[in-house]
Amino acid sequence: MPDAGLLAAASVYAWLGARVFRAPDDHEAALRQVLDMVASIEGTRQPLVSRRGLA
């Protein structure tokens, strides 16, 4: 189970412009997902799934 504090800190650092991240091997997939989400929110990467018209 990934550490929520590590992922939260990584998202803030990514938003502020950090480019290099180190994490334990078992947190790697979750960290990649967080970094992809930050990039999508910033607009530097297309989202994997687009959903429109949700009410």
* DSSP track, the chain: ---HHHHHHHHHHHHTT-------GGGHHHHHHHHHHHHHHHTSS--S-------
| Residue 52: inside a domain | no
> Residue 47's pLDDT band (boundaries 50, 70, 90)?
confident
- Per the domain annotation, does 34 fall within a domain? yes
Number of domains in the chain: 1
pLDDT band at 36 (very low <50, low <70, confident <90, very high): very high
Task: Output the six-digit token pair for 33.
Answer: 């997902």
Higher pLDDT: 50 or 54? It is 50
Q: Quote the domain boundaries for residue 24.
A: 4-42
Establish if 35 belongs to a structural domain.
yes
Instruction: Tell me how far apart the alpha carbons of residues 50 and 7 are, in angstroms, rounded to a whole number.
Output: 23
Q: How confident is the model at residue 55 (pLDDT cuts 50, 70, 90)?
A: low
37 assigned to some structural domain: yes
Residue 9 lies in a domain: yes
* Mean pLDDT value of segment 29-35: 94
Instruction: Spell out the residues 6+ positions from residue 6 whose beta carbon is closer than 8 angstroms to its own.
Output: 23, 27, 31
Residue 28 maps to a domain: yes
Residue 48 lies in a domain: no
Q: Looking at residue 3, what is its pLDDT?
A: 87
The DSSP letter of residue 48 is S
